[in-house]
Structure 1
């Protein structure tokens, strides 16, 4: 069950909010915990063992947090045990097939590689559990005394499946005491509707062009259509994930939680370094706080700084997927960020128009590595983007882009406009007006119509 589904909007959410609203404040976390487990269970009905695994990780990390906080002499050992426990499950489910496949290729063996279904949200809830026990170890927060509160924190359904990655310290006080008001519910509904619009009315529609390009075959598209396709994918990925994050923030507001912002208009960046400070902010913060800084950050000289960046970007690539294209993607981003840090960054920041042109080319090319996992297909598409490279002979309709531009141009325009701050500035001015309410109602029912007609897709980040 996803947020952009009729089942969630018209069945689960109203039922949950009705029970939540009628429950006394001291029991609201218990209802949130129970409701979130029901929400998660509906996504893993075919693999009920994953529900037990999820509950086990909650219980284990709650206990480990207590040992770390109260057993100071052995705190490091308990922290190590907790980290191994959490990452063992992530490595097993997400990377065992990848490791065995590559071991077979390297050693020329035939070890069995079973298709292991990745538990929904495991990358996100693993990082939250680990951040909690690390923060307790560092004395940035005390351990949570209530298993119900901790369970509500980890399982909170607005951010359970695809983030944002919420640190315990961000919501610790809100778990114990938060103020529920009609204004927060109203603002939450508005934020949720905006996110739903990003997902259903922009991301899903532009995703149609990316599917059309794949159905045609990368070898049979023109260079112009290839660029249209990868730009469409770039917009789809952005509005898909940002839309989810907005919906998570809106749902959090409805329950009086402040879920952190995950995007800050990354497509306005002039460098890749700036882009990754604005994109998936909570993931970047997790890697910075738990890998980059503990390795020494930039405090131990240039060589170790470069090494630390390399480690972070290798982990970032692998976190997104157990495939070599994600490793390559992480390495390319590392290379670009080092190039900017030591050579061209100051120039791009000074001459921002040049920076925007640079990013207009770089963003789609890096997302291409992200989008296509097969290296042969990746090579075909890359040559299509750069027609001056050697090409094999394929039947290509020279004006194919004309047809698809006619179909998708309004969604491209929407993608460009909503990648800027202009809509946000307008929204802030009209937020309290009847016109804004009418506009958001139109967006909501437009989304409902699209979902009813089957014009909907799962969130792209669910696979990570």
Structure 2
């Protein structure tokens, strides 16, 4: 079920929301759990069984880890965690990477020695697996106690606002909220505001960018030219930001409506002045997850410069692989890792000393736009064909106007302005966006945005969220 669908907006959400505030407090968690299961099962009942297995595995192992801690049995504590991590990653690996590994083996053998499997990737498995793993690891680290009530743990892992595409919520961040939440009119109004802004990002902006970008990239690359290759890259840069940050806004807003507070997942990454800063602002929940559960355990920056660089490359190799079973994603991760290493070696100091900060912005924009080409391309061959077009002038058989519609141009202007530029120039606008205060002008704007979104959705002009496939 999509947040940006009529069934969610007009049936699922109103029924769940009204029921939630009408029933006794004792049954609210059960209601949210049942609603989350229905929400997820909408995409396929078999997927739900896989999610249930993840819940059961992590519930049992967290209890075993805590038992070993209480018995001061360090050996069993490590064994239980290792088994828990292996089982979680094995489930994720089977569904996400089996065919990728088979294709590598077949490629190396230059023969089709293993048939590809008919495996459908369960939606959201990367997100809820990492969320469940963080819970078990934090019990091991004694950051929080194991949850004795399996239904409460199931709610944490399967809560529908952030189940499918994050943000990845760590258990200790909402442990107290599972049983005691701050439910009031202020949180509800703020949640509705964030949801409307997120819905508008997706339906009005991201979908319009997708319409033009997808149409360009459907064409054979030998029919495209340099201008269209760059335009497609820039449009996708805006599309993925408004698509994913829009989903995160909706998830945060829905959480607030039910009394939960999720940490921010985006902080205007496109105004960054270094790639290091970019990753502090982009998909924050994933960045912090890899930092806490991979980079630091590897040694972080505590074992000298060389190992710091190696650790960074390992983390960004894993980041790329997490996004998808494809060479594109692996190279995309390593591409960003390379620039982080370069910034550690010398470039970071030059960027800090540089007084002309707009040059820093140009550098960062260039890097992430080039990176998004790898992320969006159908395969490596397609990516390199697009790079060739971008960096060697060629005329297209199509005019730019053939794909760049008037409404795309209008959305492009708003997309550039509101990706952080406007908020930097007028910080009070940014404060108002993240404020729970109700402003009359803002309320009117929200009503207009919601009306436009409904009109688009009635006409059926929407696509699935990009991060659903991860």
Q: Residues 75 and 137 of structure 1 are in contact (CA less than 8 Å); yes or no, is this contact kept in structure 2?
A: yes
Structure 1 range deviating more: 423-432 or 228-237? 423-432
Structure 1 residue 378, shift from structure 2 partner: 1.5
CA distance in 2: counterparts of 1:102 and 1:52, whole angstroms? 29
Residue 380 (structure 2) aligned to one of 375, 379, 383? 375
Equivalent position of 2:60 in the other structure? 63
Number of equivalenced pairs: 456
Structure 1 residue 407, shift from structure 2 partner: 4.8
Q: Is 1:435 the equivalent of 2:441?
A: yes
Equivalent position of 2:140 in the other structure? 137
Equivalent position of 1:202 in the other structure? 205
Structure 1 residue 296, shift from structure 2 partner: 0.6
Equivalent position of 2:41 in the other structure? 41
1:85-100 matches, cutoff 5 A: 85-100=87-102
Per-residue CA deviations over 1:193-233 (Å, capped at 9, x if unaligned) read 00001111111111111112123332222212221111000
Structure 1 residue 373, shift from structure 2 partner: 3.3
Equivalent position of 1:229 in the other structure? 232
Equivalent position of 1:456 in the other structure? 462
Q: Residues 271 and 349 of structure 1 are in contact (CA less than 8 Å); yes or no, is this contact kept in structure 2?
A: no
1:48-197 matches, cutoff 5 A: 48-72=45-69, 73=73, 74-107=76-109, 108-197=111-200
SS of the residue aligned with 2:443? helix
CA distance in 2: counterparts of 1:409 and 1:50, whole angstroms? 40
Residue 285 (structure 1) aligned to one of 280, 285, 288? 288
Structure 1 range deviating more: 151-160 or 217-226? 217-226
Structure 1 range deviating more: 48-57 or 235-244? 48-57
Structure 1 residue 312, shift from structure 2 partner: 0.4
Residue 268 (structure 1) aligned to one of 267, 271, 294? 271
Q: Residues 205 and 415 of structure 2 are in contact (CA less than 8 Å); yes or no, is this contact kept in structure 1?
A: yes
Per-residue CA deviations over 1:433-454 (Å, capped at 9, x if unaligned) read 2222111011011001111111
Q: Residues 139 and 146 of structure 2 are in contact (CA less than 8 Å); yes or no, is this contact kept in structure 1?
A: yes
CA distance in 2: counterparts of 1:22 and 1:143, whole angstroms? 30
SS of the residue aligned with 1:180? coil
CA distance in 2: counterparts of 1:244 and 1:382, whole angstroms? 29
CA distance in 1: counterparts of 2:31 and 2:229, whole angstroms? 49
Q: Residues 216 and 232 of structure 2 are in contact (CA less than 8 Å); yes or no, is this contact kept in structure 1?
A: yes
Per-residue CA deviations over 1:247-278 (Å, capped at 9, x if unaligned) read 00000000110011000110001111111111
Q: Residues 323 and 373 of structure 1 are in contact (CA less than 8 Å); yes or no, is this contact kept in structure 2?
A: no
CA distance in 2: counterparts of 1:426 and 1:302, whole angstroms? 41
Q: Residues 221 and 400 of structure 1 are in contact (CA less than 8 Å); yes or no, is this contact kept in structure 2?
A: no
Per-residue CA deviations over 1:265-298 (Å, capped at 9, x if unaligned) read 1000111111111100000111001110001100
TM-score normalized by the length of structure 2: 0.94
CA distance in 1: counterparts of 2:353 and 2:266, whole angstroms? 24
Structure 1 residue 192, shift from structure 2 partner: 0.3
CA distance in 1: counterparts of 2:21 and 2:243, whole angstroms? 29
Structure 2 unaligned spans of 5+: none
**Cα RMSD, aligned residues only:** 1.7
Q: Is 1:310 the equivalent of 2:313?
A: yes
Distance change >3 Å, CA 233–CA 319, structure 1 → 2: same
CA distance in 2: counterparts of 1:59 and 1:422, whole angstroms? 46
Equivalent position of 2:30 in the other structure? 30
Equivalent position of 2:419 in the other structure? 419
CA distance in 2: counterparts of 1:178 and 1:260, whole angstroms? 15
Residue 215 (structure 1) aligned to one of 204, 218, 221? 218
CA distance in 2: counterparts of 1:381 and 1:421, whole angstroms? 28
CA distance in 1: counterparts of 2:59 and 2:280, whole angstroms? 31
Structure 1 residue 421, shift from structure 2 partner: 5.8
CA distance in 1: counterparts of 2:183 and 2:421, whole angstroms? 29
Q: Residues 266 and 284 of structure 2 are in contact (CA less than 8 Å); yes or no, is this contact kept in structure 1?
A: yes
CA distance in 2: counterparts of 1:427 and 1:92, whole angstroms? 43
SS of the residue aligned with 2:297? coil
Distance change >3 Å, CA 429–CA 238, structure 1 → 2: closer
CA distance in 1: counterparts of 2:358 and 2:421, whole angstroms? 17
Distance change >3 Å, CA 429–CA 303, structure 1 → 2: closer
Per-residue CA deviations over 1:98-150 (Å, capped at 9, x if unaligned) read 00111111123421112310001100010011100100000011111211111
Q: Residues 325 and 370 of structure 1 are in contact (CA less than 8 Å); yes or no, is this contact kept in structure 2?
A: yes
Distance change >3 Å, CA 455–CA 259, structure 1 → 2: same
CA distance in 2: counterparts of 1:452 and 1:329, whole angstroms? 36
Per-residue CA deviations over 1:348-406 (Å, capped at 9, x if unaligned) read 23331111111222121000011113222212211111125xx7xxx723743587264
SS of the residue aligned with 2:325? coil
Q: Residues 212 and 405 of structure 2 are in contact (CA less than 8 Å); yes or no, is this contact kept in structure 1?
A: no
CA distance in 1: counterparts of 2:422 and 2:150, whole angstroms? 44
CA distance in 1: counterparts of 2:208 and 2:196, whole angstroms? 17
Distance change >3 Å, CA 105–CA 435, structure 1 → 2: same
